[in-house]
Structure 1
């Protein structure tokens, strides 16, 4: 495309009538949505990958008593993150490229189901299995991305709703279909759906003129995709973060992990010594506690060795939760989550962006 950069008559904008040029911002908005959507999906995959590796490490070393764990924990193949994409159109292909390059997911652990698998030759050459069998895909994967058209979703859901494993996470990019309808269509509760809001008429979308992978390797653009950053004209509903962490707890539940072990795992994934001020007083940094995820009434009769409950992610994203309450009241936790997000992409989180000193004490 660089060869064509100075040839105006080959540019997208050439030939558009003057009265219609006011709508050109929609093209940049579409690209901005793609960048943010792929960035957040990448972060989620990295988090799940690291969690599964940590679970396997703990279950084979520190937690020798594996007899009480669920059968899933004894199946090596299920310890790996296996990602399926339903839909091989523009979004599905962009997402596959990003996951292969930036997570990175090995080609043998990524599969794509599409009505035209012959159009995915570039992925076949890399070792990605491409076929047309949604049933086979959801029976194999433990994370499924829905990248189909809204008009295709009802028939796809009817086809696959009886084939999901309970622990399989469905991540939907079908923005036109709200979470309650998705839950009904799929007869499934382990669903994560990011919700984006575009600033009306905003034309200066960050990274809109770059290819997706190039954009996601640009520190400035990546910082603009942070969950709490409204930059770029595209805003992510932060209830997505609720879904991300409760989804992580469901992964622990599927492995038979106890409450105390699950909190320890999350705290290991979420290091406390992020900032200079925190290193001086590590005990003052935010630490995940039981009451961060469960209500006080529910926890009254629980012990640290109790089993984790199963969380309905659709409810988590639609209602207030203990975790969302803590996010609203603990700016230091927001800063640490932002640091975790930036660190997963290998970019720095400038100390001057930290809103408050890490002086909050852990929840009791």
Structure 2
């Protein structure tokens, strides 16, 4: 009812300004009628909202990275073809270069994620599809041009990134349906918090899986708000900074192994294209370290740069010729074990600063070093 009245005021009588007619009606507030001894549990409402906001923010950031990478690869490919005069003979791979995103699950999280991807990446409606048991309940998305249906294998066969927004109890059945349709390079991104990534690997018979894990602390200041849509919340500087991968604001800490998995997922994309590792490192530097603070200097000599030894061990480095691509990485192992990149990602303040700046910049918010979120040193176990 609140949402209906708020929307009506916005479209009919508010002149474009959202009004909440229920704001001062105490008897219609969520907290009304709760026994005094149960009020101590109201913090869970803010925590739940914070988890959804962070989940959507990190998924959006990941999709932005993938879109930027694909655009960069397409531009460099076109430039090489123009220089060599082979453009006319090169097949049109535009469809393969587009990021195609599938969402399994059309509940609260699935809807919020779809809105964030559409508005904040932005992903074109024709490149986003949703599979849910009740596609008729997603009429507002279908009107936008998003295909909504109930056919999980079809969705997975089409997409190159699949978000699992289903209940943990539904996951075994869904995994059984889709495992035979998963291509090696398809990234599965799971929000099913109760299902460990090792279990997902077995259920899907797949290694290209990302699974963010969040740790909640008991004492926290609820900064997540109550009435804003997720997309609006992520355009608020204070809220967005609280979602930064290294931030512990709002009482929710992201396991930084997720960010490590993001890096290796991008390495896998380049490996699938048989790209020489030196060229891949150049793309990584452009993708992750292209945004700088004012005191970095014009030449950026003091800024971090990715090297081959950051991602593979020394023995492999010595035996890797310049034209060889990176090996294919098991993303589940990356998120469960230490890698050559683990220490640098968790201890290098220069790298953390640049990644935080890039994160905020990708949402259109500029930071100075004084505005950086508090860095979390916590690393919840898998």
CA distance in 2, matches of 1:176, 1:36: 17
CA distance in 1, matches of 2:38, 2:225: 23
Structure 1 residues 343 and 23 mapped into 2: Cα distance closer, same or farther (>3 Å)? same
User: 1:156 maps to which residue?
Assistant: 174
- Kindly tell me the number of residue pairs found equivalent between the two proteins: 349
Structure 1 residues 197 and 63 mapped into 2: Cα distance closer, same or farther (>3 Å)? farther
Following TM superposition, by how much is the alpha carbon of 1:208 offset from its aligned partner in structure 2, in angstroms? 4.6
CA distance in 2, matches of 1:210, 1:328: 33
User: 2:128 maps to which residue?
Assistant: 110
User: 1:284 maps to which residue?
Assistant: 302
Residue by residue over 1:79-103, the C-alpha shift from the partner in whole angstroms, topping out at 9 and shown as x without a partner, is 1000000000111011001111111
CA distance in 2, matches of 1:168, 1:149: 21
Residue by residue over 1:138-186, the C-alpha shift from the partner in whole angstroms, topping out at 9 and shown as x without a partner, is 0000000000000000000001001011110000000000000000000
Matched, 1:46 2:64: yes
Question: Over aligned residues, Cα RMSD in angstroms?
Answer: 1.8
* Contact 1:273 1:279 (C-alpha < 8 Å) held by counterparts: no
User: 1:3 maps to which residue?
Assistant: 21
Task: Give the secondary-structure state (helix, strand or coil) at the position aligned to 2:297.
Answer: helix
Following TM superposition, by how much is the alpha carbon of 1:280 offset from its aligned partner in structure 2, in angstroms? 4.4
Moved over 6 A (4+): 63-66
CA distance in 2, matches of 1:85, 1:111: 6
CA distance in 2, matches of 1:63, 1:227: 38
User: 2:117 maps to which residue?
Assistant: 99
Q: Which of residues 134, 157, 160 in structure 1 aligns to 2:152?
A: 134
After superposition, where does 1:79-98 map in structure 2 within 5 Å? 79-98=97-116
* Contact 1:48 1:248 (C-alpha < 8 Å) held by counterparts: yes
* Contact 1:272 1:286 (C-alpha < 8 Å) held by counterparts: no
User: 1:330 maps to which residue?
Assistant: 348
Matched, 1:181 2:199: yes
Q: Which of residues 117, 120, 126 in structure 1 aligns to 2:138?
A: 120
Q: Which of residues 335, 342, 349 in structure 2 aligns to 1:317?
A: 335
Following TM superposition, by how much is the alpha carbon of 1:77 offset from its aligned partner in structure 2, in angstroms? 1.2
Task: Give the secondary-structure state (helix, strand or coil) at the position aligned to 1:6.
Answer: coil
CA distance in 1, matches of 2:347, 2:27: 53
* Contact 2:223 2:239 (C-alpha < 8 Å) held by counterparts: no
Normalised to the residue count of structure 1, the TM-score between the two structures is 0.92
Task: Give the secondary-structure state (helix, strand or coil) at the position aligned to 2:321.
Answer: coil
Matched, 1:36 2:51: no
* Contact 2:212 2:254 (C-alpha < 8 Å) held by counterparts: yes
Q: Which of residues 247, 252, 270 in structure 2 aligns to 1:252?
A: 270
Normalised to the residue count of structure 2, the TM-score between the two structures is 0.88
CA distance in 2, matches of 1:200, 1:19: 18
